Amino acid sequence: MKKTLIIIVNVIIIAAILSFVVIYSGYASKDSYRRQITNFENTAVSMEKVTANFLEGEQRVCDVWARYINNKSMTMAEAADYIRSSHVLSNTSAHVVYLDTLKGLSTRPRQGTADDYEVSYERVDLLKSLKLDDEIGRSVQITRAYTNPMNGEQSLAFCNTVVLKDQDSQTLKNAILMRIIPISELEQKWIFAQTELVNAELSMIDADGDYILKGPSFKNSNFFEFYKSYNQTDPESTKQLSEKITASTGSITMLNSHGQECILAFTPVDATSGWTMLAFVPANDLNVDKQNWLLFGVVSAGLLILFLIDMFHVLFLNKRLQTTAREAESANKAKTDFLSTMSHDIRTPMNAIIGLTTIAEKNLGDVESTEESLRKISLASNHLLTLINDILDISKVESGKLKLSPLTFSIVETVENLVNISQPMIKEKNLEFSFHINQMEKEYLYADQLRLNQIYINILSNAVKYTEPGGKISVDMLEEKSSVSGCIRLVYKVADTGIGMSPDFLETMYQPFSRQVDSRVNSIQGTGLGLAITKQMVELMGGTIDCISEQGKGTTFTVTLDIPVADRQREDMKLDPVDVLIVDDDEVMLKTAADTLESLGASTEQARSGLEALGMIEHRHLSGKDYDVIIVDWKMPEIDGTETISRIRSEIDTKVPILLISAYDWSDIEEKAKEAGANGFVSKPLFRSTLYDKINDLIGKESVSIEPEDDYSDLAGLRILVAEDIDINWEIVSAMLEMFGITAERAENGRDCVEKMREAKEGQYELIFMDIQMPEMNGIDATRAIRKLENPWASSIPIIAMTADAFSENVTECLNAGMNGHIAKPIDIKLVIREIRRIREERKQS
């Protein structure tokens, strides 16, 4: 309705403007047309003046002759002779004719003769009706156009009456002197000089309307008859028109013989008695209507274009607004759905935690039950924490404030961690799992390990989540050359045989809060944020993430990242010359393990089953060339790894060290394997450093390790000030720190913390863990106050926020206040230890 109204209003405005243009241009056109007509009238008047001058000039010649003839009392022959000798123009002539007989003499001989000068006007209806003024020189006296009887030319004659002496009777007789000018001569002179009036014509009529001179467009022998023939009129109107035209100067509009509208300008010829000059021109020659139509056309087209542009622009804006509204509505709905999901997802683990805590409290005496409850509480807690972390991450992603914190880390550890984390789920769902690495040369890389872990875990955990029990998951990690200097290209590929994704979902899967709608999926826990976070993080790290998926068949995610290589590498990993037998049914595994071992300097042989291995070992044993190390995969057809080991030990009686490898959680089989005779365990994938370390362990050589493993001695005796107002939180953090030999001292609020720092001796505290929301003085103000302390040590002490305010703006606020880091509650002690070590390392470097 509103749209229609707007269109109607627009159309009305356009119509109003166009009407104005039409009216105005019509008025301007009429005005211009009137001016043109006035100009045309003026031109006619000018032509009349020119004509009058010409007529008077010619008449004067005739007058001079007449006066002379009258004064000299000539005979006709004498008069003819006189005129013949007087006029010099070859194209004119003169006739002297007696008025009674209408016969006389011509100054030029008859056509085709040399001496026949006699002329007769008896049969020419001209002189009888001619009214001449007896007084010479008073007026112009001209005949109508007539046929000169001497030569047949259409001519005009300027006349005067003269008195001649009759040669025979010697009496005086009235005669008429005619100075004759051919019409063709006049026509050449008598044209409009103005080039724009090429179609204009002139005519001259006498008082009755008979033409004296006639333009080509003037029809009939009488102008008024011509007018009547082609224009609607009546006798009275014709009479009025006749009076008007013959007595005044002006113009009228009339039709010509073609029915074309013309302008007739008229003005009396003053030099004559009752003659009128007529100027005739087609009205179109004076009209400028075409320009107005052009103006109208241009304005119309312009307004139409404007209207259409406006309309389309409004429609476009409307469409965009609708889209935006839909998007906002969709986003709002997504967030509502998300909050609803979150509520559900948070309540679920919370329910487990609260419920299991209640159960544990009631079963305190039952150690096994309590441990089971605590284990489940821990699992639920971790899930809850994952949810909260995802919320934090997506908040950071959406605000564009997700920052990377690159550190030197071991990709081996990362992968081990990845496998360890996923193992319980894989085991629980009884999935077939394989993890291949290929050409992994560089162990230490420089990147944000936390985020890298998050990427890899997200993808792998999704594969595990969405693959139904009995399915298969295979992970491939490949090191390639990178086009970026100082980097390797790390390709991480996770393929599953899970439920797959629909093409529609593939298009939106990276959008926050989206989850595949599937009856099987709804039972799977998830925040709908994982892929969104993963993609953002991959892109933040300059990498790519690709996905190929088919519903019902499975999904393959490939993450490609260019990661800088850390300065430090274990360049000196070389084994003593050892013979190694690798036993696995997995060809890829066999090849990669053999390549890795050979690159470490070992000699390798491969067996594709336990039985084959038994034969090869026995053969070596009998020939006295036992292998130095045997590596056996756990899961193999026919006889598995433990049975193979058992038979090696029982049937061959060799002491060769045997390593059992598995892609699965081997804690369950550890005892059995040890009993069978395994000397050590290695998790797949088999990294170069892992193999190096394990083989060295087995052959009795200590490997060189860079990172201390489970060695927290560097933290012992450390003193940390913890600003925390909540007692329970204080208890948790102090207890956890104490587990690592760290001494924690409490400040109950911000003000207390500041006071403690002011009074503290230099070096009394290594750093401060600062809660944010505290009574009396919050953590932010306390930090600012500490940074303002005069003591340089005190004012520069590292301060780590330890707060439940976990959103990015909270982190930013903390850092802006002068803090050095941020740890979100609930605290992960590993993160706390890592943060402490980072701070210490930075202080050492500075």
Half-sphere exposure for 402 (CA within 13 Å, toward CB):
24
DSSP classification of residue 568: -
Half-sphere exposure for 801 (CA within 13 Å, toward CB):
30
DSSP letter for each residue of 294-340: HHHHHHHHHHHHHHHHHHHHHHHHHHHHHHHHHHHHHHHHHHHHHHH
Structure tokens at 782: 């306390």
Nearer to other proteins among residue 149 and residue 798 (C-beta): 149
Nearer to other proteins among residue 183 and residue 412 (C-beta): 183
Cα distance between residue 188 and residue 91, in whole Å: 13
What is the nearest approach in angstroms of other proteins to the Cβ of residue 225? 7
What is the nearest approach in angstroms of other proteins to the Cβ of residue 145? 9
Nearer to other proteins among residue 151 and residue 369 (C-beta): 151
Nearer to other proteins among residue 209 and residue 500 (C-beta): 209
CB atoms within 10 A of CB 363: 14
Nearer to other proteins among residue 103 and residue 834 (C-beta): 103
CB atoms within 10 A of CB 301: 10
How distant, in Å, are the alpha carbons of 281, 441, 604, 612 from that of 583?
Answer: 117, 23, 10, 8
Nearer to other proteins among residue 220 and residue 812 (C-beta): 220
DSSP letter for each residue of 372-404: HHHHHHHHHHHHHHHHHHHHHHHHHHHHT----
What is the nearest approach in angstroms of other proteins to the Cβ of residue 209? 12
Contacts of 672 (CB under 8 A, 6+ apart): 642
CB atoms within 10 A of CB 672: 15
Rg, Å, the chain Cα set: 61
Nearer to other proteins among residue 91 and residue 330 (C-beta): 91
Nearer to other proteins among residue 229 and residue 330 (C-beta): 229
Contacts of 474 (CB under 8 A, 6+ apart): 433, 434, 435, 436, 494, 495, 496
What is the nearest approach in angstroms of other proteins to the Cβ of residue 200? 14
What is the nearest approach in angstroms of other proteins to the Cβ of residue 219? 5
What is the nearest approach in angstroms of other proteins to the Cβ of residue 514? 48
What is the nearest approach in angstroms of other proteins to the Cβ of residue 99? 18
Q: Is residue 524 within 8 Å of residue 465, measured between CB atoms?
A: yes
Nearest in space to 314 (alpha carbons), one of 306, 303, 302: 306
Nearer to other proteins among residue 112 and residue 552 (C-beta): 112
Nearer to other proteins among residue 122 and residue 668 (C-beta): 122
* Measured CA angle at 282 (ends 280, 287), to 5 deg: 125
What is the nearest approach in angstroms of other proteins to the Cβ of residue 216? 5
What is the nearest approach in angstroms of other proteins to the Cβ of residue 118? 14
What is the nearest approach in angstroms of other proteins to the Cβ of residue 195? 17
DSSP bridge partners of 279: 202, 265
Cα distance between residue 587 and residue 549, in whole Å: 26
- Contacts with other proteins by CB under 8 A lie at 111-112, 123-126, 146-147, 149-154, 182, 184, 216, 219-222, 225, 229, 235, 257-258
